[in-house]
Amino acid sequence: MALENDTQAPDFELANQFGEHIRLAEFRGKKPVALVFFPLAFSSTCTTELCALRDNLSLFEHAGVELIGISVDSKATLRAWAEQEHYDFTLLADFWPHGDVAKDYGVFLQEKGYANRATFMIDIQGYIRASLITAPGQPRSIAEYQEALQEILPAHV
């Protein structure tokens, strides 16, 4: 079962598409995070979804929110996909131990071997304030992201 709102987001450290290690706790006290779990790089629905995020990256940038994608793919796969699709945001490899971060967030699909489509909007204090979880094969919409962003931003933004 996915983590609920108002829960402290579990900390983790994973390699990004460039092999740099990113730790969630590094953002605490600095900026909110949109943590976007997706099943697999290069799949059609994931590509459509992340291209929509790429094309609307300004929503997150103007709000001061760090957009981070995460999947069970390797960092090399994520780098090739990011280069092909011109993704200008961080992609993290939950590769090994396989899907551990997705498991911590309650969104790993054991029978499939990858994470469900799930987004956790984490405020500046590190608490989950909104989540978007869709049925398999169903993309999350930009309108849903816009609404969820309001849950992690101060009223003046």
- pLDDT given for residue 155 in this prediction: 54
- Could you tell me which of 70, 120, 76, 126 has the C-alpha nearest to residue 98? 70
Q: Is 143 exposed, middle or buried (0-12, 13-18, 19+ CB in 10 A)?
A: exposed
The residues annotated as belonging to the active site are 46
pTM of the model: 0.95
Maximum C-alpha span of the chain = 44
- The Cα angle at residue 147 between residues 29 and 45, in degrees rounded to 5: 100
Are 9 and 133 in contact by the 8 Å Cβ rule? The answer is no
Q: Is 20 exposed, middle or buried (0-12, 13-18, 19+ CB in 10 A)?
A: exposed
Domain 30-149: top CATH class: alpha beta
- pLDDT given for residue 55 in this prediction: 98
Q: Is 9 exposed, middle or buried (0-12, 13-18, 19+ CB in 10 A)?
A: buried
Q: Which residue ranges in the chain fall short of pLDDT 50?
A: 156-157
Query: In sequence order, which residues have a C-beta less than 8 Å from that of residue 43 and are 6 or more positions away?
Result: none
Backbone Cα Rg of the chain: 14
Spans of all domains in the chain: 30-149
